[in-house]
Structures are given as structure tokens and as C-alpha cells.
Amino acid sequence: MPDITYQELKPPERILLGPGPSNIHPRVQRALTAPLLGYLDPYFLTIMDDTMQLLRSLFRTKNELTFPISATGMAGMEASFSNFLERGDVAVIGVNGFFGERMVNNALRCGAEVIPLHAEWGRIIEPEAIEAALKSRPRIKLLALVQAETSTGVLQPLAEASRLAKEYEALFLVDAVTSLGGEELAVDDWGIDICYSGSQKCISCPPGLSPFTANQRALDTLKARSSQVPSFYLDLSLLAKYWLAGNGRVYHHTAPALLVYALHEALVLIAEEGLQARIQRHARNGAALHAGLEAMGLALHAQPGHRLSTLTTVRIPQGVDDLRIRQRLLNEFGIEIGGGLGTLKGKVWRIGLMGHSSTEENVLLLLSALEKLLIDEGYSVEPGAGVAAATQNLKKKAN
């Protein structure tokens, strides 16, 4: 047989400042090398219990059904729709970005009728539009919104939407993939019935798990289904029999033990930092980045007053090559940022400051590197303006 030479596995070190994943803490990295255990090993069961309790604290909920689904955040989205929607149900879905569009796709695949609430990519869904849609039909099953739209950098308000959902007796579903652990989110206090996230963003765990929670109102709806949940793998009633100890732990699938270890350690790190302190860190660094970008003459894309701290969209200046800037950031500085999605492709950069990646050092390094590359592209920037503005903003926030 011919000799075959395989590439040695030596991934480069990167500073991950894109829309996800974020960098992981060394303790999370070490957790991935811990001994592998079986999915019903007594010790692994204690890690499962701890992980669920830590997730309840992070979601700020007492929901018993709170656990990580063994797949990425998209599985959380699909589980939400496939469990709680049936053919003929009506769902109102906010569509102000790429992931709102994916929600619509999921609901339609369940056979539901969708009333989309369209808004310009970068603006919130206004309460008036939500109420008008909920009033338009006698029985709306579900209202779904993306809290942190990863494609646009907009932060959707939820309190009034939740009130309206309850008034019109609709389940309230929230996508918190880019907000959980980095932005304010209070599942119980805000009356959210169903919520899902991803492990790889503000939690700073490798991708592959989708933290999920649903309250009793949602579970009563699930029990009242007239048909089976179409997905066996994502059937919450079956997953609950494995995750919840009161059910005797019935085998459903082989859980990714190493990822669960990593999630457990990432959640412990959040608890040690303190959730409010963590949210304030994201807010402080996000504000510094915004100040620095604007001082460089760049325009932020998302609606003022509703901008994420965790994910910033900035408009690409006329005449600047989107891909060349991102490739040079990666090759020369080891920094990853993201390009635009959908209608914003080639129009914005997406800069993530999530979890372990949200640091003052990363803000200043990115601004300095971006300034150099923009000058090379012929864009006029006052030397040092971005770093100076960000530094001043950080000092002000510290006082």
C-alpha cells in the first residue's frame, strides 16, 4: 500500500472575537481531558445534577426541566418548535434578522401557520406590532422572539412582549443563544415559558450543547399534544426521563460526557465571578468597543438604545474590502471577527465580546489592529483615536 502522510493536528491559537465560538478558560480546556465515563455512571449522574442546578441559576429559573440538549443551539430552536407546535397551530414570530428567519422555517416544518413580524435588520420588533399580531387571530399558540439577534447586534426588549403573550394566552419562546450569561435574562421574573441557548458564546464552552428550559405551563401544552413529537431525539418528554433523577434515569442517548464536564466547569466559573458582575463586564467592554469604533469614524449598525454588549455590528466603510480586512486580522494578528449574514453580507462586520473573550485587552488590541488595516486600505483614521476613546470609556466606567 502507498505511504500516506497525515497532517499533524496543531490548530493555531486564535483570539475569537467573531459571532461564536468564544475562547474558553484553561479550566474548561482541562475538563475536556478528564476521564470519560458512561452515561449512567454514578459520578456522571452527580455532574448532571450539578449542571442542571447551575443552569437554573444562569437562566434565573426554578423550572425542573432545565438541562443541556446534546447538540448545538440550533437543536434548542428545533426542540422548541417541534415539541410545542403541531400542524394547524398559529405562531407569531419576530423576524428582524437571520435567526428570526430560521425560527419561521422551523415552525413551518412543524406544519404551523406563521404570522411573521418583519422589521428592518438592526431594529427591534416593536410592542405595537406584537399586540396587533396577537389580536389578529382568536387562538395564537406561541409568540417567539430572538433576544440577541446574532446577525444584527440588536437586543430585543422582552418584558412587554411577555405581558402581551400572557394577555393573549400564547406561550412565550425566547432565543437566548447570544445573550445567556452576557446580557440580562430572567426567565421566571420575565414570564418566559420556553428558552434555549448555546454553550459556545457567553458561557464560553465548546459548541455542542444547547442549554434549555421550559416551565410547567409549556409542559402542560406538551402533554396535551394530539400527535407525537415528530423528532425522537429532541422529544423533551423522553429527554426528561434521562436527565431528571425523579424519572429513574432511563437511557435515551449517549450523552457527550466531556462536553458536559466542560459546561459544568464553565458554569462554575460564572458562579464564581457572579452573574451580575459578569453581565457588567460584558456591558463595560461592549461600551468601550462601541466608543472606540465610533471614534474611528465607523458607524454602528444596530438601533441606538438597543445594542448588544456581546455582539457588535459595525458598517464597513465605502471602498474597504470586507474579506481582505478579516483575512489580515486573522493572519497577521490572530484575531477572528465575522462577516455579515443574509441581507447584511458584505455590509457589516460582526465583533463578538463574549464570555472569556470579553476583556479590556481584546477590545484595545482589536481597535489597534483594525486602525492599522483600515489605514492600509486608504480609510482616513486619526491615529490612536479608537484606543484612546475606548480607554477613556473604560476609565469612566471604572469610576
Cβ atoms of 346 and 316 closer than 8 Å: yes
Which of 299, 269, 274, 279 shows the shortest CA–CA distance to 354? 279
Provide the pairing of β-strand 154-155 with 148-149. Answer: antiparallel
Range 48-54 average pLDDT: 98
Q: What is this structure's pTM?
A: 0.96
For residue 350, is pLDDT > 80?
yes
For residue 283, is pLDDT > 80?
yes
Whether residues 136 and 219 share a domain: the answer is yes
pLDDT band at 212 (very low <50, low <70, confident <90, very high): very high
Q: Which residue has the cell 475536556?
A: 32
- The residue out of 250, 271, 292 marking a domain boundary is 271
Range 178-186 average pLDDT: 98
**Helix pair 216-223, 73-84: axis angle to 10 deg:** 60
Whether residues 249 and 386 share a domain: the answer is no
pLDDT band at 302 (very low <50, low <70, confident <90, very high): very high
CATH code where residue 187 lies: 3.40.640.10
Whether residues 104 and 154 share a domain: the answer is yes
Q: How many domains does one find in the chain?
A: 2
Range 16-36 average pLDDT: 98
Q: How many C-beta atoms surround the C-beta of residue 19 within 10 A?
A: 24
For residue 399, is pLDDT > 90?
no
Whether residues 326 and 254 share a domain: the answer is no
Kindly state whether residue 3 falls inside one of the protein's structural domains: no
Query: What does the pLDDT read at residue 346?
Result: 96
- List 335's β-bridge partners, or say none: 15
Kindly state whether residue 1 falls inside one of the protein's structural domains: no
- The residue out of 256, 271, 286 marking a domain boundary is 271
Q: Which residues contact 139 (CB under 8 A, 6 or more apart)?
A: 90
Whether residues 207 and 292 share a domain: the answer is no
CATH code where residue 385 lies: 3.90.1150.10
Mean pLDDT, rounded, of the chain: 97
Whether residues 187 and 321 share a domain: the answer is no
Whether residues 169 and 309 share a domain: the answer is no
Whether residues 64 and 101 share a domain: the answer is yes
Q: Which conformational region is residue 378 in: left (phi greater than 0), alpha (psi within -120 to 50 degrees), or beta?
A: left
What are the φ/ψ torsions at residue 395 (nearest 5 degrees)?
Answer: -65, -40
Range 13-42 average pLDDT: 97
Cβ atoms of 309 and 283 closer than 8 Å: yes
Which of 148, 136, 174 shows the shortest CA–CA distance to 60? 174
Whether residues 338 and 255 share a domain: the answer is no
Q: How many C-beta atoms surround the C-beta of residue 85 within 10 A?
A: 28
Whether residues 249 and 172 share a domain: the answer is yes
Kindly state whether residue 8 falls inside one of the protein's structural domains: no
Query: What SS3 string covers the chain?
Result: CCCCCCCCCCCCCCEECCCCCCCCCHHHHHHCCCCCCCCCCHHHHHHHHHHHHHHHHHHCCCCCEEEEECCCHHHHHHHHHHHHCCCCCEEEEEECCHHHHHHHHHHHHCCCEEEEEECCCCCCCCHHHHHHHHHCCCCCCEEEEECEECCCCEECCCHHHHHHHHHCCCEEEEECCCCCCCCCCCCCCCCCCEEECCCCCCCCCCCCCEEEEECHHHHHHHHCCCCCCCCCCCCHHHHHHHHCHHHCCCCCCCCCHHHHHHHHHHHHHHHHHCHHHHHHHHHHHHHHHHHHHHHCCCCECCCCCCECCCEEEEECCCCCCHHHHHHHHHHHHCEECEECCHHHCCCEEEEECCHHHCCHHHHHHHHHHHHHHHHHCCCCCCCCHHHHHHHHHHHHHHC
Query: What does the pLDDT read at residue 246?
Result: 77
Range 301-308 average pLDDT: 98
Q: How far apart are CA 366 and CA 20, in angstroms?
A: 16
Range 358-386 average pLDDT: 96
Whether residues 38 and 76 share a domain: the answer is yes
HSE-up of residue 313 (Cα within 13 Å, Cβ side): 27
Range 81-87 average pLDDT: 98
Kindly state whether residue 248 falls inside one of the protein's structural domains: yes
- The residue out of 254, 271, 288 marking a domain boundary is 271
pLDDT band at 1 (very low <50, low <70, confident <90, very high): low
Cβ atoms of 185 and 156 closer than 8 Å: no
HSE-up of residue 113 (Cα within 13 Å, Cβ side): 9
Whether residues 160 and 287 share a domain: the answer is no
Range 349-362 average pLDDT: 98
The boundaries of the domain holding residue 82 are: 26-271
Query: What does the pLDDT read at residue 366?
Result: 98
Kindly state whether residue 19 falls inside one of the protein's structural domains: no
Kindly state whether residue 17 falls inside one of the protein's structural domains: no
Query: What does the pLDDT read at residue 308?
Result: 98
* Residue 28 cell numbers, joined: 474548561
Range 151-166 average pLDDT: 98
Provide the pairing of β-strand 311-315 with 335-336. Answer: unpaired
Kindly state whether residue 227 falls inside one of the protein's structural domains: yes
Q: How far apart are CA 25 and CA 29, in angstroms?
A: 6
Kindly state whether residue 2 falls inside one of the protein's structural domains: no
Q: How far apart are CA 81 and CA 171, in angstroms?
A: 11
pLDDT band at 398 (very low <50, low <70, confident <90, very high): confident
